[in-house]
Amino acid sequence: DAGVIQSPRHEVTEMGQEVTLRCKPISGHNSLFWYRQTMMRGLELLIYFNNNVPIDDSGMPEDRFSAKMPNASFSTLKIQPSEPRDSAVYFCASSRYSGDTDTQYFGPGTRLTVL
Amino acid sequence: AQKVTQAQTEISVVEKEDVTLDCVYETRDTTYYLFWYKQPPSGELVFLIRRNSFDEQNEISGRYSWNFQKSTSSFNFTITASQVVDSAVYFCALSGDQGGSEKLVFGKGMKLTVNP
C-alpha cells in the first residue's frame, strides 16, 4: 500500500513568492495533519482536518498560511507571500479513526528553503 | 495544556550497548495516548509504538521495549544491544482521547548515535 505522498520533496524559492505544498493521504484515512519541523521549535502542528473539515488551525502562524482539503485524497498548504523564516520541513500525516488503533503515518516531508 | 519533555538531547553509545530514552509528559486528560517515532538521517518519521493511558503493561518487541508508568508520567523506551542502524532522532508524542485522530504534541527529540 502506498504511504502518504508529498510533493514537491524539495522547494527553493525567493522571498515574496507563493509556495504550494501538496499531500495525498493514505487511501481510507479520514484525518489529515500538517506539521512543521524547525530546529528552534521542533515539530509543531499547523492544522488538521477530519473528514475534509478543518478542526484545529490554531497552529497556523499567520494569514500568509492557508490550507485546504477539497476531497478525501488531496490537501494543499499554501504560503503567500513566503518569507525566509518559513524555511522548514513540512510534514503531512494521515490517520483513520478506528477506536484504539489509529495512528498517524507521516509522509516524507517537503524541505522548503526561502531565500 | 499538554507537554512532552525529553530531557536528553543527545546520546552516543557503542554498538551492543543498551540505551534508554526518557520521556515525561504532562496532561490533564484522563484518557490519552503516547507514541514513539523514529527519524533516521533520511528524514522520514517512522511510527514505533502507541500506548493508551489505560494500558500500563510494558511491551517488548525484539530489541525494543517500553516502560509506561502513570505514577511518574513517564513513557521510556529502551533499545537492547544497539546497532548502528538505530542511529536516529527519537520523538515521544502525546495526544488526547482521540488518539491518532487528533493533534500530537511532540517532545524536542533525542538524537541517538550508535558507533561501531
Task: Report the sign of the C-alpha dihedral through residues A39, B106, B98, A103, in that order.
Answer: positive
* Inter-chain touch B100–A89, beta carbons under 8 Å: no
Distance CA B104, CA A80 (A): 26
pLDDT value at residue A8: 97
Contact A50, A30 (CB under 8 A): yes
pLDDT value at residue B105: 96
Min Cα–Cα distance to chain A from B44, Å: 5
One-character DSSP codes across A27-86? TT--EEEEEEEETTTEEEEEEEEETTEEEE-TT--STTEEEEEEETTEEEEEESS--GGG
Task: Report the sign of the C-alpha dihedral through residues B35, B9, B105, A11, in that order.
Answer: negative
Task: Report the sign of the C-alpha dihedral through residues A55, A56, A62, A64, in that order.
Answer: negative
pLDDT value at residue A50: 92
β B105-106/B88-95 pair status: antiparallel
* Inter-chain touch A108–B35, beta carbons under 8 Å: no
Q: Which of A95, A84, A88 is nearest to A35 (CA)?
A: A88
Condensed to tens digits (0 to 9), the pLDDT of residues B13-28 reads: 999 999 999 999 999 9
Across residues B46-72, what is the average pLDDT?
Answer: 89
Min Cα–Cα distance to chain A from B115, Å: 24
pLDDT confidence tier of residue B55, bands split at 50, 70 and 90 = confident
Beta carbons within 10 angstroms of residue A108's beta carbon:
18
Most A-contacting residue of B102, B106, B108, B110 (CB-CB within 10 A), to test interface = B102
* Inter-chain touch B103–A89, beta carbons under 8 Å: no
Residue B98 has pLDDT above 90, yes or no: no
Residues of chain A contacting residue B52, judged by C-beta atoms under 8 Å apart: 100
> Coil, helix or strand for B28?
coil
pLDDT confidence tier of residue B115, bands split at 50, 70 and 90 = very high
B91 interface with A at CB cutoff 8 Å: yes
A103 interface with B at CB cutoff 8 Å: yes
Contact B4, B94 (CB under 8 A): yes
Q: For chain A, which ranges sit under pLDDT 50?
A: none
Residues of chain B contacting residue A105, judged by C-beta atoms under 8 Å apart: 47
* Inter-chain touch A106–B104, beta carbons under 8 Å: no
Residues of chain A contacting residue B100, judged by C-beta atoms under 8 Å apart: 31, 95, 102-104
Distance CA B67, CA B56 (A): 8
Beta carbons within 10 angstroms of residue B47's beta carbon:
16
Residue B86 has pLDDT above 80, yes or no: yes
Contact A11, A115 (CB under 8 A): no
Q: Identify which of A42, A56, A106 has the shortest CB distance to residue B108.
A: A42
